[in-house]
Amino acid sequence: MLPVIASPAVAARLGKEAHAVDTLSGDFKVQVVGTVGRVASLASTNFLIVNSASLEERAPTTLLLTGAPDPGKLRAAADGNGEEFAVQLRSEERARYVNTPMQAGAERIYLAAVAAGAGYALLAVLLSLLQTAPERKTLLARLRTMGLTTGQGRRLLAFEATPQALLAAGGGLLTGWATIVLLSPGIDLVPLALAGVAGSDTSPVTLRADLWSLALPAAGVVALAAAIAGVQAWWASRRGSITELRAGDSR
């Protein structure tokens, strides 16, 4: 009787009773004494871990290689041995999970959402600045008569637009994070992303918030607002103070 550690699925199927097992390392009985969710050397979720020192025939059944072997030569060497050997490369296994339809579609949706959000943010900032452009030009002209330089005028308008942009960016970041937190308990990404990949891991994978994906668009909104305010200050400084400050002007 050999004590074994099993995956949760195998442990549920075997139970606590002893079972006879026929393997390449001999025939023996096993009894589950513990469970573990996954091991680093296996992608499957169905496995048994046995102490090899307790086996009668301890001939190796798996050979692990590191480095960058040539796949063709490796398979030719395995096929030329005269016995049935399976060659499995980590690079090929990883390639199966790259550019799946779900992954490519999610990337396109994310990029489209970022582009649409940036466009709406740019439009909102431009409309707001155009509405207040006359007052800003007059204010800068009056301040220039008091010694305000062009660079100081740019920084002034940039700082004036920053608080609203920070509030908008913070609200968008918080909304995106809260949406992911609320949706993650009910969404399993495995059947969505790996539905067409044979032999893929069936362990549930939930949504998680990616800090950079949330923070970069928010930082872009702040930078966009500051940049447009600086451009407006530069454009206003091209016109002289006399042009803006006319006698009898009520602005």
- For the record, the structure tokens of 209 come out as 């918030």
| 217: region left, alpha or beta (phi > 0 left; psi from -120 to 50 alpha) | alpha
pLDDT band at 66 (very low <50, low <70, confident <90, very high): confident
CA distance 229 to 160: 8
Q: Which residue has the tokens 């990029």?
A: 111
Looking at residue 247, its pLDDT comes to 45
CA distance 140 to 234: 10
Domain limits of the chain? 1-62, 64-95, 101-244
Please give the backbone phi and psi of residue 33, each rounded to the nearest 5 degrees, phi first. Answer: -115, -5
Rounded CA Rg of the chain: 33
More confident site: 219 or 68:
219
Looking at residue 212, its pLDDT comes to 85
More confident site: 217 or 205:
217
Looking at residue 83, its pLDDT comes to 65
> Angle at Cα 229 formed by Cα 223 and Cα 230, nearest 5°?
85
Indicate the average pLDDT of the chain: 75
Specify whether the CB–CB gap between 224 and 158 falls below 8 A.
no
Looking at residue 199, its pLDDT comes to 53
CA distance 150 to 165: 23
- For the record, the structure tokens of 17 come out as 């009773």
For residue range 149-159, what is the model confidence (pLDDT) as tens digits?
767 767 777 77
Q: Which of 138-142, 173-177, 235-239 has the lowest mean pLDDT?
A: 235-239
Nearest CA to 2 out of 52, 36, 62 is that of 52
Specify whether the CB–CB gap between 209 and 114 falls below 8 A.
no
Is residue 90 over pLDDT 50? yes
pTM of the model: 0.50
Q: Which of 62-66, 126-130, 245-249 has the lowest mean pLDDT?
A: 245-249
- For the record, the structure tokens of 206 come out as 């939930």
For residue range 175-215, what is the model confidence (pLDDT) as tens digits?
888 988 888 888 777 766 665 555 555 566 777 888 888 88
**DSSP alpha helix (H) spans, 65-149:** 71-79, 90-95, 101-131, 133-145
> How far does the chain reach from its first CA to its final CA, in angstroms?
95
Looking at residue 202, its pLDDT comes to 57
* Of the ranges 110-119, 129-138, 199-208, the best mean pLDDT one: 110-119
Specify whether the CB–CB gap between 144 and 243 falls below 8 A.
no
CA distance 193 to 106: 10
Looking at residue 214, its pLDDT comes to 84
Looking at residue 59, its pLDDT comes to 64
Give the CA distances from residue 246 to residues 80, 141, 143, 242, 249, in Å, rounded to whole numbers and listed in that order. 95, 11, 15, 6, 6
CA distance 219 to 213: 11
Residue type, 230: G
Relative to beta strand 2-6, strand 26-35 is parallel
